[in-house]
Amino acid sequence: MKIGITCYPSYGGSGVVGAELGIELAKRGHEIHFVSYAPPMRLDDGQCRERIHFHAVDMLSYPLFEYPPYTDALASKLFQVANAEALDLVHVHYAIPHSVSGYLAREMLKPTRYLPVVTTLHGTDITLVGRDPSFLPITRFGIEQSDAVTAISNYLRDATHDTFCTGCDIEVIYNFIDADYYCRAPNETVRQELAPQGERIILHVSTFRPIKRIGDCIRVLAKMKELETGSESQFRARLVMCGDGPERAEAEALAVKLGVAELVSFVGKQPQSRIREYLSVADLLLLPSQSESFGLTALEAMASEVPVIATRVGGIPEVVEDGGCGFLFEVGDINRMAQAALKVLEDDAERKRLGARGREIAISNFTTDKIIPQYEQLYERLIRERADRP
């Protein structure tokens, strides 16, 4: 098949999934055409380059436009690529504004043929941005006009039904990992770089937005240190904050205020290859989010045999087995998160048990060989159903 994919070429989960999906489909022999304003992540690693193509959306700079109309420019580019490359289908990730751009491209192409559009919902396009009154009507329209809609968790499917369209047919197709790419392969040089004194490594990876509650990572670390004060053992843990965003400065100030700045490393945005290296040496992943529609970082950690401490929100319970591969707590429950973190870091056998169970769950439920065929079957069904449509 010839498949067009549109996603945000950023460090958010939707961009990661869109890029990884294209790579996996190309491995299976499909021709993939990415259409966005910049190349998505991981396209520079050389995999299947003969079957992966990128088409940049060009934006016109004009004084009349205070905000460049990206939705229209993307629709035009999708139309042009679909025509020139004879695309069989377009798959857009994150509803805003991609589903509407896909719809416009399909309508422009109608005099010639019908181009099916698949929209995958990823989270904040439904739970946050899409609910804003300025976006809700157009988001609902884009979802309803898509030929197929998928969501990355049962939680997100139900949230979409509640807010946007009760009767919409939404298929749940979980996020996925390449189990060969995400596996525990510790590099002692990387461990020394992150924890030069041999400390246990607590890792957090996110976009540092308010919804991620990165300040709670700092508070958990401070509480862990407090709980260890007075004991014979020296507190030996280091928090590695991987990512960047609007909450970083406040989190750095909080670390100073709570007296743990020397135990926290803010390493900024890192390429996916570095995140994989960090996961391979991490002893614990901390994910205290206010909301997560799936928890892709948690899945990547599980595949890398890293225990997970997270909040019991959104789609996380569909991924993380409480007591099996990690522990789930209510949002803001700093004390219990800190206690659980200390227990995991101090008990080698427990940490190994949790890590092994995480790897087992990841391989059993979320590998590419289980998830990618679900997308292929959806594509084939849509192309077949729409083949005779005017």
- Strand-pairing partners, residue 53, are 33
CA distance 370 to 320: 18
Residues 25 and 44 in one domain: yes
Distances (CA, A) of 188 to 192, 196, 201, 278: 6, 10, 13, 11
Residues 168 and 239 in one domain: no
Beta strands in 258-334 (DSSP E): 264-268, 284-287, 308-311, 326-329
- Classified as helix, coil or strand, 112 is coil
Domain count, the chain: 2
Would 181 be classed as within a structural domain? no
pTM of structure = 0.90
The pLDDT value recorded for residue 47 is: 65
Q: What interhelical angle do 95-109 and 136-145 show, nearest 10?
A: 50
Residues 193 and 146 in one domain: no
The pLDDT value recorded for residue 61 is: 78
User: Within the chain, where are the H helices?
Assistant: 13-27, 70-85, 95-109, 124-127, 136-145, 154-163, 188-194, 214-228, 248-257, 272-281, 296-303, 334-346, 348-365, 368-386
Residues 224 and 321 in one domain: yes
Residues 124 and 271 in one domain: no
CATH number of residue 269's parent domain: 3.40.50.2000
Residues 205 and 301 in one domain: yes
Residues 168 and 301 in one domain: no
Would 114 be classed as within a structural domain? yes
Residues 161 and 36 in one domain: yes
The pLDDT value recorded for residue 232 is: 46
Residues 53 and 156 in one domain: yes
Residues 113 and 235 in one domain: no
Domain range holding 130?
2-176+368-386
Would 183 be classed as within a structural domain? no
CA distance 303 to 179: 7
Burial 207-236 (b: 16+ CB within 10 A, else e): bbbebbbbbbbbbbbbbbbeebeeeeeebe
CA distance 115 to 110: 8
Per-residue pLDDT in tens (0 to 9) along the chain, 390 residues: 999 999 998 766 788 899 999 999 999 999 999 999 998 876 766 667 789 999 999 888 777 777 788 999 999 999 999 999 999 999 999 999 999 999 999 999 999 999 999 999 998 888 777 778 888 899 999 999 999 999 999 999 999 999 888 788 999 999 999 999 999 999 999 999 999 999 999 999 999 999 999 999 999 999 999 988 655 456 789 999 999 999 999 999 999 999 999 999 999 988 777 899 999 999 999 999 999 999 999 999 999 999 999 999 999 999 999 999 999 999 999 999 999 999 999 999 999 999 999 999 999 999 999 999 999 999 999 999 876 655
